[in-house]
Amino acid sequence: MNTLEVKIYYEDTDCGNVVYYANYLKYMERGRTEFLADHGFSVSELAAQGTMFVVARVEIDYRSSARLGEIIVVRTWVSEMTRTSILFGTTMTDKATDRLIAEATARLVCLDANGKIKRVPQDMIEKIK
């Protein structure tokens, strides 16, 4: 599991100082990127080697609102791997109170440099599982 702290800035919020709903997708992306980095994989290096991951499906349940000035904790893990995809789980909580803000899953599909589905690299499977 990877843990990432994100401070909520004015640019993240709407006119009510509540985080705009689509920004949670950005926090999830950061969490996945850091998860892979913690396991020895750079997203940009993978792409340069002809391995890319694209989001095929996201499910998110919003439980409460994050607000301006709060720090949220983004926890990311892999809940399933297939030959060609990885299913990431994510929770986002308020650091000060541990209040659940959102729960989500995102399925990423592995592609080659031409955009064709390919197998997840074996070394990635071994390091993540």
Are 2 and 77 within 8 A, CB to CB? yes
Written as one string, the DSSP assignment of 36-105 is HHHTT--HHHHHHTT-EEEEEEEEEEE-S--BTT-EEEEEEEEEEE-SSEEEEEEEEEETTT--EEEEEE
d(CA 35, CA 53): 14
What is the rounded average pLDDT of the residues 12-37? 97
d(CA 86, CA 5): 23
Q: 5: Cβ–Cβ under 8 A, 6 or more apart, which residues? A: 71, 72, 73, 74, 95
Domains by residue range for the chain, with CATH: 2-128 (3.10.129.10)
Average pLDDT of the residues of the chain: 97
Task: Evaluate if residue 54 carries a pLDDT over 90.
Answer: yes
With cut-offs at 50, 70 and 90, classify the pLDDT of residue 25: very high
Residue-level pLDDT at 129: 81
d(CA 69, CA 49): 39
- Any idea which residues carry the catalytic annotation? 14
Can you say how many angstroms the Cα of residue 71 is from the centroid of all Cα atoms in its chain? Answer: 17
Global pTM?
Answer: 0.94
Q: What percent of the chain has pLDDT over 90?
A: 99
